[in-house]
Structure 1
Amino acid sequence: MTQCKVLNLMVNYRRNPLGMDDLIPRLSWQIQAQTRGFIQSAYQIQAGYDPSFEAEAELVWDTGKVVSDSSVHIEYRGQTLRPRTRYFFRVRVWDSRDYASAWSEPAYWETALLSTQNWQASWITAPVPGQLAENSEDPCDYFRTEFALPAGVVSARIYATSLGLYRLYVNGSPADDTLFNPGWTSYNKRLQYQTYDVTRMLTAGGNTLGCIVGNGWYKGYLAWDGSKDHYGKQRALLVQLHITLADGTEQIIVTDGSWRTSTGPLLMSELYHGETYDARLEPDGWASPGFADHHWKQAVLTDAPPPLLVAQENEPARIVDTIKPIAVITTPAGAAVLDMGQNMVGWVRFTVKAEAGTEVTLQHAEVLDRDGNFYTGNLRSARQTVTYICRGGDPETFEPHFTFQGFRYVQVTGVPHDQLLDQFTGCVIHSDLEQTGSFSCSDELVNRLQHNILWGQKGNFLDVPTDCPQRDERLGWTGDAQVFIRTAAFNMNVVPFFEKWLKDLAADQEADGRVPHVIPDIPTAGYGSSAWGDAAVICPWTLYQCYGDVRILQQQYPSMKAWVEYIRAQGEHEFLWNTGHHFGDWLGLDAKENSYIGATPKDLIATAFFAYSTELLSKTAEVTGQQEEAEKYRRLHSNIIRSFREEFVTPSGRLASPTQTAYAVALMFDLLEEKDRPRAAAMLADHVKENGTHLTTGFVGTPYLCLVLSRFGYNGLAYELVLQKEYPSWLYSVLQGATTIWEHWDGIKPDGSFWSDNMNSYNHYAYGAVGDWLYRIAGGIELIEPGYKKIRIQPQPGGQLTWAEASYSSVYGRIQSAWSRQPDGSLALKITVPANTSAELILPPGQQGKIMESGEALDHVSGVLSAEENAGGRKLTIGSGSYRFTIA
């Protein structure tokens, strides 16, 4: 038997997922090997109903021994899956000597309803809006029903969704810890439902289901024009509970006309504006058996819009962390303000003891002004205010339900000063994505930059990739998502998150292929800009590169193609994109006075992205086996490049628009003739130097600038940019006290004044795309084959850094690349390559000394497959395992 272990079994990137609608789920596993250079030669998967796998008849799939080194994204090909069924599976593998491992521990997935035909529940709603309380905008709806059960509940699952946001209760307790269900999708086309295992929450005798439904994204305020009801005017609820008893019988509880409904203490709940909760109106025990609901009204059956109901696709939102305030500040204006120490997204949980009717108010803000006073100007119309009216008597604990705030500072009224530190807790909320990457180095300011990048992602990955979490926006801007997705994929496992979002992109895409600026679509925002709509192509391709999952490309190919064909149809010139509305190099520092758009011509950027998306579409067609399509788009790509050169490049190889962004995109997308690229890179480097080693790029150019400089031999200059402390730079905001990434390079000016009230988020991840450079260049982790099946470890030391370390948990396992300069002048490298992969180790230029691994010469080291010298330096090919190299 081989000395390896199969572990970390996953289904569609998740461990033991509950409630899936995928009829062909993808199974993956990782391998822990005791020897270096492990490559899987074969695998076997068994799946069935019994976790012991003792009964042959219980198997629904047995692959037998499959000769293959594939260990990720293996499609289930067994018996047709049944709804509401748990399937267990296990895996064993063989090594290169044909020795088999032991079977893995079993894992499982559980199907949901699989088809709309399996829904028996009816949509219900409140009969009419009740009389609104004073100063209330739209009270939430409360629903309940009671039912009796005998002893012996074996299994119980609830399937639920709503038009609005809902919170489900079973016998007085929340059904689970997830938040903001059913999430935000293109509601009129796709609506997620959730699955809850409530087996242990039910009891013999009386039981109660209760639910609160609020406006959320469905009918609450969205965007900056003060409008609401974007998807509908009526909240509604759909719930179906399946109970299996010990005798094999089943009982089903559904939403129908027997449910009762009322309003309650939750008088107002809006994503932007906060909540108003009057605890004096709490109906004690409303979600528990025995509550007297005779004064409640009968729920009304409603013909809700018939979107496609799909089981939860991405990871739900949860409270993933808590933060205690670090200080209570009394501002010059006399306000009591909590400092959480971190610009965060979520809400505040607090406990107070006060007389009935006492009003506790929490206002949330990201920064204080230069005088130290509470500042809300950049929130625009978003109120971000939680008001709690005390019930009186015993201590009362409260946290919101259907709103979230972006904040570091909380102004509190109605609570004695001495209670503020101990009784207030910040609850950090975001989609519960597994953190997969880390980066650190010898410069603490850069480590704080990495912290800010990660926290910017946390704050803006709440069900959709938003642009900001505080003002009256919080929308899924496509351009922001595509520039940041590669960094996002290092930091966290983002596949289910982006797969769900890309399905909504395809659903909201216009018939002519136009892509909305924001996904899910809000018509206020508009359609069809280059670099924004290109998310339709760039995001699926990036996910495929990072995770090696062909299905993502297969699923999104029609959308990708539609976008490229939309561009192709614009204007009179088939191979240039010189018409329509574009954001250009958004917030570029070389913009004209009072303009948001940088100096790089918008048609140059548009045509560059036309070429890039067409190239990726051609590659996608090839990967998915569509050779004619691949050739068709290769020809189109060649024609676009030729037209780009004719239109934007002089005969001597200069770009007609000599901006940093123009050179960055032209070089990044290989739009210049090869002979002209070194000169163009030199001109870009000169531009940066002549600008005082500062960037002038905006949203489009910034993600590529340092990558291009490092690629073309100006790695030292890229380090100077990253380590630059003066404005404009990444470290400028760090030195200003930022704990997340800013929307503007000068969101806070050196004199403490602000860039603008109109558009000035202090939590906006776009410029955090430099994290890609930190991982790939400073850290040295790069892929050669999709999914990191083959890895390039190529750390490129520079600047004043004396060490740097990057790690990334790929679908195969943990990759590590760490380098440090030793006191004797040698370079130490610590490398980890996961089992069933291999790597090329490219040694930094100038490191030509003798190479040792753990004190041994390379000739005696297992796992080192080859060593060679080439024009790029010294290259080692190594198998899986952990290594410690020194270059003396």
Structure 2
Amino acid sequence: MALSIAQVSFEHHRTALGIGEPEPRISWRFDGTVSNWFQGAYELEIKRPAEGNANAHTFHVNSSDSVLVPWPADPLASGEEATVRVRSFGHSHGNGHGNGPNTPWSDPVTVEAGLLSPEDWQDAAAIVSDRETEVNATHRPIYFRKDFAVDEEILAARLYITALGVYEARLNGERVGDRVLAPGWQSYQYRHEYNTYDVTEQLHAGENTIGVTVGPGWYSGRLSWESLRDIYGDSLGVLCLLSVTTSDGTKTYIRSDDTWQSSTGPIISSEIYDGETYDSMLELTGWDSPGYDASDWLGTHAVDFDKSVLASPDAPPVRRIEERKLENVFSSASGKTVLDFGQNLVGWLRIRVKGPKGSSIQFVHTEVMENGEVATRPLRTAKATDNITLSGEEQEWEPSFTFHGFRYVQVDGWPEETELNADSVTAIVVHSDMEQTGFFSCSDPLLNKLHDNILWSMRGNFLSLPTDCPQRDERLGWTGDIHAFSRTANFIYNTAGFLRGWLKDAYSEQLGNNYGPPAVIPNILGPNDASAIWGDAIIAVPWALFQTYGDKALLREQYPGAQVWIDKGIPRNEVGLWNRSSFQYGDWLDPLAPPEDAGAATTSKYLVADAYLIHSTELLANISSYLDLSDHAAKYAQDRADLTRAFQSAWISSNGTVANETQTGLTLPLYFDLFSSPAHYTSAVSRLQKIIAANENKVGTGFAGTHLLGHALSKYNATSTFYSMLTQQEVPGWLFQVVMNGTTTWERWDSMLPNGSVNPGSMTSFNHYSVGSVGSWMHENIGGLKPLEPGWRRFAVDVRLGGGLTRADVQFVTGYGAVESRWVIEGGNEGCEVFRLAVRVPPNSEAVVSLPGRGRGEGSVVVGSGVHLFERCLS
């Protein structure tokens, strides 16, 4: 395949409309199987319509960089667009191939800045309805509208919009864009996102109408098990600016202000936890179009709003991603009608129905069945229930401002006039629209299903922010969960923008919490004590992102938070370790912890905390080094050495025995390099293997140890031990969830007990991604793929065989293009089992390939771009 540029992007945006960076960095991927190709230079062509498209500026740069290269031109102004093309020039890179081919120009890609300062909002105001609202109560969604005229032909139009709540915008009877639950959830007091839409085709000369529906969402709806309300505000509102450029060259602005009208409508209530109630009898036909009689609507008024917190999103929008067909309709033990979609998912139902006017249908959403009924107990106080009152006509409906985590739906009141089947009910899968970059398959169908479950749990919990679970009265951005899972997440999906935005909120919230990152981001629980692992996410998550994407700017943004956490946020004892009276989650959800005491782990919470403190200090030293802060790097490296000695004195005896000889108690000092001699490492690995064998190869780790256990064993060439754990089908173990027909990963190893009943604990979710952190071990060992330098320009292919596997195919889309490791074990001549490996390396990068078998790791081969074939006799 000829060499070409496959994708041009700006910062971490796939669609660069309304971005917040006036000088966006530019990246491009390559396509083609050209052999051993490296870039020696590149050219960027930039056209700015404001200057006339004929006046293109071309910038030639002698550089091998093709990821996040600097913007070479003048900064973009607010609302300004530019069109960019890229081409690359090859060079030999010492391989004797001469200069190699050059790429043709890429397709042109447009980037457009959003509103970059508060003044650019042209005095638009945040408005709320004149309807009296009740504080600390369910807020009924509000409909806002405004009629306006445009006298000239329209050349371009942009809608900049956000809400005090979550919104859906409409122009002239048509929906604007395809975002749902916009603008998502941020720490609104620090960063309140707005969205940008190109609405040129939805406007016309003459009379027009803009309409916006706003529901409470996270802004003022019920949140947490404490049923907190009105956390950010007690009224629903909208802030928007419609900018219209007409043929006479003028710009007209339609602002949100007190000339707008407001009303209630058919959405009676719509909340994240409780679901939506909709009355079709109250529909406002034509309310979003010119000519509608709004004489009985109420007015609006402006409220105080700090526009300095407005920000363009870093993350991709939440969208309807997929439709799942109904797989089965059956009766529960009590005779209730239940729908089964065959997959635990996050989203809602779309129904097509006709029934008696004024009749109602109720939908109760759950993840599992128990004793023949939908299991609502794990939802705790979340109702997860939608209700619709029918119009009497055939209609299609789906909720607007809620979402559910479910596989099963109990239906009451479905009308006889419509058959209940796959044509009348569809599940809509919803999450942030990240690009899938990681793909896994192997010869073991149970491991394939495990990986699929990991992916589905990530999809369900990466909805606007990284949550713990998507179904009960929680759904919060727990920092400990994403700390454990980020290494896996960054492989499966491109999380660069998604987590960058969340981390901005994490730093803001940290500064308001006595320098310790709160346990949930956004922090709705008030000031809370910092804890190891959860607090360490402020360092570990940016580090994991840097390893995958190589973005130093992200490290630079997060460096102050990382530094203040280590320097000021951690309560310490006299030797610099964690204060022994500090609060700790510890090895949360240790398999031996009782159902109602998830923190009752078999490993000391202070051993866990101290080990993570040393690791975080080491990461901060590494980050300092990458940011060329040599004095800081030296200081934190010395701190790490001093703390290690203190750890050894506190937790490791002179013969190398750890105070808690548990799976986690040994995994942490092994993985974090906390022993004092090589003999201690060898002995500790042996003891860890014996503990695992005595536990019948079952998992004995919670949050602190699970995501590192396999990596620690493989680090010391004990991969076979971890394969025995990974393929264990009894509880506690990853495949237990698979053989129990789980379709996502669970919060507890035994969220469902072997007898099919639900764990009696109040924290029993069937969609938590934390134990899915094993995905990173699968990618890096079964697939053999991991970066050798941040950003994957240089990466390893080092397959670790075991588990009875005979083949695997693992792919990852890097910033340079697609990487692939595909291998198979086949019979060969004279009874030799042959390992055959195909490696795909994208242009402008290289791989270090190591082969299993005799002499494993000896004679590693460095290869450039192209497809490379290897084989080795294993016996």
The TM-score bracket by the shorter chain reads over 0.9
Q: Does 1:671 align with 2:674?
A: yes
Q: Does 1:760 align with 2:768?
A: no
- Rounded to whole Å, the distance in 2 between the matches of 1:263 and 1:51 is 43
Note closer, same or farther for the CA distance 1:292–1:130 as it changes in structure 2 (3 Å cut): farther
Residues 306-455 of structure 1: matches in 2 within 5 Å?
308-369=309-370, 371-392=371-392, 394-416=393-415, 418-455=419-456
- Rounded to whole Å, the distance in 2 between the matches of 1:494 and 1:269 is 29
- Supply the RMSD in Å over aligned alpha carbons: 1.8
- Rounded to whole Å, the distance in 1 between the matches of 2:632 and 2:59 is 33
Note closer, same or farther for the CA distance 1:450–1:52 as it changes in structure 2 (3 Å cut): farther
Residue from 72, 84, 87 that aligns with 1:89? 84
Letter in structure 1 aligned against 2:320: I
The secondary structure found in structure 1 opposite 2:844 is strand
Which of 876-885 and 731-740 deviates more?
Answer: 876-885
Note closer, same or farther for the CA distance 1:688–1:291 as it changes in structure 2 (3 Å cut): same
How many angstroms does 1:91 deviate by? 1.3
Q: What CA deviation, in whole Å up to 9, does each residue of 1:665-715 have, x standing for no partner?
A: 111111112412111111111110011111111111111111111221211
Letter in structure 2 aligned against 1:49: R
Residues 36-185 of structure 1: matches in 2 within 5 Å?
36-50=35-49, 55-56=54-55, 58-59=56-57, 62-64=58-60, 66-96=61-91, 97-98=98-99, 100-120=102-122, 121-129=124-132, 137-185=138-186
Structure 1 unmatched ranges of 5 or more: 849-870
Residue from 817, 821, 829 that aligns with 1:817? 821
- Rounded to whole Å, the distance in 1 between the matches of 2:692 and 2:775 is 20
How many angstroms does 1:304 deviate by? 2.9
The secondary structure found in structure 2 opposite 1:656 is coil
Counterpart of 1:20 in structure 2 is: 19
Residue from 726, 730, 735 that aligns with 2:734? 730
How many angstroms does 1:644 deviate by? 0.6
The secondary structure found in structure 2 opposite 1:529 is coil
Letter in structure 2 aligned against 1:637: R
Letter in structure 2 aligned against 1:127: D
Q: What CA deviation, in whole Å up to 9, does each residue of 1:787-845 have, x standing for no partner?
A: 11101100111011111111000111111011111122111101101100011100113
Counterpart of 1:855 in structure 2 is: none
- Preserved contact between residue 431 and residue 459 of structure 2 (Cα < 8 Å): yes
Q: Does 1:881 align with 2:866?
A: yes
How many angstroms does 1:50 deviate by? 4.9
The secondary structure found in structure 2 opposite 1:225 is coil
Letter in structure 2 aligned against 1:186: S
Counterpart of 1:781 in structure 2 is: 785
Letter in structure 2 aligned against 1:878: V
Letter in structure 2 aligned against 1:67: N
How many angstroms does 1:307 deviate by? 5.3
Residues 189-228 of structure 1: matches in 2 within 5 Å?
189-228=190-229
Q: What CA deviation, in whole Å up to 9, does each residue of 1:736-766 have, x standing for no partner?
A: 1100000111111111222125110000000
How many angstroms does 1:23 deviate by? 2.2
The secondary structure found in structure 1 opposite 2:864 is strand
Deviation above 4 Å: which 4+ runs of structure 1? 50-54
- Preserved contact between residue 47 and residue 53 of structure 2 (Cα < 8 Å): no
How many angstroms does 1:580 deviate by? 1.0
Counterpart of 2:809 in structure 1 is: 805
Note closer, same or farther for the CA distance 1:397–1:766 as it changes in structure 2 (3 Å cut): same
The secondary structure found in structure 2 opposite 1:160 is strand
Q: TM-score, normalization: structure 1?
A: 0.94
How many angstroms does 1:7 deviate by? 2.7
Q: What CA deviation, in whole Å up to 9, does each residue of 1:857-885 have, x standing for no partner?
A: xxxxxxxxxxxxxx833311111111222
How many angstroms does 1:71 deviate by? 0.5
Counterpart of 1:872 in structure 2 is: 857
Note closer, same or farther for the CA distance 1:820–1:291 as it changes in structure 2 (3 Å cut): same
Counterpart of 2:94 in structure 1 is: none
Which of 471-480 and 232-241 deviates more?
Answer: 232-241
- Preserved contact between residue 236 and residue 304 of structure 1 (Cα < 8 Å): no
The secondary structure found in structure 2 opposite 1:499 is helix
- Rounded to whole Å, the distance in 1 between the matches of 2:815 and 2:276 is 41
How many angstroms does 1:35 deviate by? 2.6
Note closer, same or farther for the CA distance 1:294–1:783 as it changes in structure 2 (3 Å cut): same
- Rounded to whole Å, the distance in 2 between the matches of 1:784 and 1:544 is 12
Counterpart of 1:769 in structure 2 is: 773
Note closer, same or farther for the CA distance 1:234–1:789 as it changes in structure 2 (3 Å cut): same
- Preserved contact between residue 133 and residue 235 of structure 2 (Cα < 8 Å): no
Counterpart of 1:628 in structure 2 is: 631
The secondary structure found in structure 1 opposite 2:722 is helix
- Rounded to whole Å, the distance in 2 between the matches of 1:747 and 1:524 is 29
Q: Does 1:533 align with 2:518?
A: no
Q: What CA deviation, in whole Å up to 9, does each residue of 1:124-171 have, x standing for no partner?
A: 101133699xxx943111100011123521100000011111111111
- Preserved contact between residue 851 and residue 860 of structure 2 (Cα < 8 Å): yes
- Preserved contact between residue 51 and residue 106 of structure 1 (Cα < 8 Å): no
Q: Does 1:545 align with 2:530?
A: no
The secondary structure found in structure 2 opposite 1:786 is coil
Residue from 698, 717, 720 that aligns with 2:702? 698
How many angstroms does 1:329 deviate by? 1.0
How many angstroms does 1:593 deviate by? 8.0
Residue from 656, 681, 684 that aligns with 1:680? 684
Note closer, same or farther for the CA distance 1:137–1:81 as it changes in structure 2 (3 Å cut): closer
Letter in structure 1 aligned against 2:767: N
The secondary structure found in structure 2 opposite 1:751 is coil
- Rounded to whole Å, the distance in 2 between the matches of 1:725 and 1:376 is 27
Counterpart of 1:518 in structure 2 is: 520
- Rounded to whole Å, the distance in 1 between the matches of 2:857 and 2:87 is 40
Counting aligned pairs with the same residue, the percent is 37
- Rounded to whole Å, the distance in 2 between the matches of 1:637 and 1:735 is 43
Letter in structure 1 aligned against 2:863: I
- Rounded to whole Å, the distance in 2 between the matches of 1:430 and 1:840 is 36
- Rounded to whole Å, the distance in 1 between the matches of 2:634 and 2:115 is 41
Letter in structure 2 aligned against 1:607: D
How many angstroms does 1:655 deviate by? 0.7
- Preserved contact between residue 620 and residue 636 of structure 2 (Cα < 8 Å): yes
Residues 707-722 of structure 1: matches in 2 within 5 Å?
707-722=711-726
The secondary structure found in structure 2 opposite 1:272 is coil
The secondary structure found in structure 2 opposite 1:775 is helix
Q: What CA deviation, in whole Å up to 9, does each residue of 1:247-267 have, x standing for no partner?
A: 211111001111000111111
How many angstroms does 1:52 deviate by? 12
Letter in structure 2 aligned against 1:819: W
Structure 2 unmatched ranges of 5 or more: 92-97
- Rounded to whole Å, the distance in 2 between the matches of 1:226 and 1:80 is 46
Which of 290-299 and 410-419 deviates more?
Answer: 410-419
Note closer, same or farther for the CA distance 1:246–1:307 as it changes in structure 2 (3 Å cut): closer
- Preserved contact between residue 592 and residue 599 of structure 1 (Cα < 8 Å): no
Letter in structure 2 aligned against 1:539: V
- Rounded to whole Å, the distance in 2 between the matches of 1:490 and 1:794 is 16
Q: What CA deviation, in whole Å up to 9, does each residue of 1:491-519 have, x standing for no partner?
A: 00001000000000011013531110000
- Rounded to whole Å, the distance in 2 between the matches of 1:192 and 1:601 is 41
Letter in structure 1 aligned against 2:378: N
- Rounded to whole Å, the distance in 2 between the matches of 1:752 and 1:302 is 53
Q: What CA deviation, in whole Å up to 9, does each residue of 1:175-232 have, x standing for no partner?
A: 0110111111111111000001100011222110000111110111111012211112
- Preserved contact between residue 437 and residue 492 of structure 2 (Cα < 8 Å): yes
Alignment size in residue pairs:
855
Counterpart of 2:590 in structure 1 is: 588
Letter in structure 1 aligned against 2:641: S
- Preserved contact between residue 577 and residue 607 of structure 1 (Cα < 8 Å): no
- Preserved contact between residue 314 and residue 496 of structure 1 (Cα < 8 Å): yes
- Rounded to whole Å, the distance in 1 between the matches of 2:377 and 2:577 is 44
The secondary structure found in structure 1 opposite 2:119 is helix
How many angstroms does 1:25 deviate by? 1.1
Letter in structure 2 aligned against 1:229: D
Q: What CA deviation, in whole Å up to 9, does each residue of 1:234-290 have, x standing for no partner?
A: 222101000111221111100111100011111101100001111101111001111
Q: Does 1:32 align with 2:40?
A: no
Counterpart of 1:558 in structure 2 is: 560
- Preserved contact between residue 153 and residue 246 of structure 2 (Cα < 8 Å): yes
